[in-house]
A and B are shown apart, each in its own frame.
Chain A
Amino acid sequence: MAFIRFSDRPTFRNPWAEFERIRQGLDELSKTYVEKGKTPGPANVFPALNIYEEPDRLLITAELPGVKTTDLDLSIEGETLTIQGQRSGGDSETGASYHRREIQYGSFSRAVTLPVKVDTETIAAKLTNGILTVTLLKASAVTPRQIKVTAE
């Protein structure tokens, strides 16, 4: 028979400590899951956008295959950029039988709030191979400015 001496026991044992440990473990697990799993974010609106930030400008890209420049309408109001347009076509050709119809046709509209103030006068947009790239120069007030250090 084993004797357990009273002094071998921990002086104070928190019964909730184990729960706390499990909770922390779960927190860590969910954190890594969120970081790893690429969530589509607030997308689900066509077109999906990628925004790149450079020190002096913002680049917004979108995949718009089959959209003509004449069917695309961009506008900026304050800090909201609106992309509107339509993809025409898709009408069934006479005498053709369709095997697959995966491509969507129709109109789209998306507004995006810009994270920084931009110079609305110098916005450039181009459409190459079905990819729209909008270049927005940051307003001079938010462009990082080099500060020269002088020795005295």
Chain B
Amino acid sequence: MSEQEMKFQEKKTATPDGEATKNQLYFAPHVDIFETEQEVTVVADIPGVGPDGVELSLEKNILTIQGRRSTAGKPVGRLILEEYEIGDYLRRFTVTETIDQDKIEATLANGVLKVCLPKAVPAQPKKIEVRIG
């Protein structure tokens, strides 16, 4: 896998619900989504976002990933070459599985966000024993 050469991927812009009052630039982060029997995992590339800048929510089966870039440490000076634009991140997914909301876990490392959504265990059918009495 590591032998493969990485190619340049154009960043896709995302539009938030409704029109924003601020002229904010949003990008849709590239994601990997995979599913095992126990959980659904979403991996998203959000370079430039620190742990305080991530906003995650799962509401009505819609998972929203929002990342705000920290403005601290932003380079100043004259831009002499611009190959990529800087903006915040936003992407939404509809989750079809029933998710155990209390056990959602998210980790952020090197600008990569990993969200683990454990599937809710379906309630075991209760067996009612009939006693002969």
**A66 x B32 contact (CB < 8 A):** no
**B112 x A40 contact (CB < 8 A):** no
**A52 x B80 contact (CB < 8 A):** yes
**Interface residue B110 (Cβ < 8 Å from any Cβ of A):** yes
**A102 x B48 contact (CB < 8 A):** no
Interface residues of B (CB under 8 A from A): 1-10, 30-37, 41, 43, 45-50, 70, 73, 75-86, 108, 110-112
Size of the A side of the interface (Cβ < 8 Å), in residues, is 51
Query: Could you say which residues of chain B place their CB within 8 Å of the CB of A104?
Result: 4, 6-7, 9, 30
**Interface residue A23 (Cβ < 8 Å from any Cβ of B):** no
> Which residue of chain A lies nearest to B28 when distances are taken between CB atoms in the complex?
A102
Please tell me which one of the listed residues A45, A98, A128, A131 contacts residue B8 in the complex, with CB atoms under 8 A apart: A45
**A51 x B80 contact (CB < 8 A):** yes
Please tell me which one of the listed residues A46, A53, A130 contacts residue B112 in the complex, with CB atoms under 8 A apart: A130
**A65 x B82 contact (CB < 8 A):** no
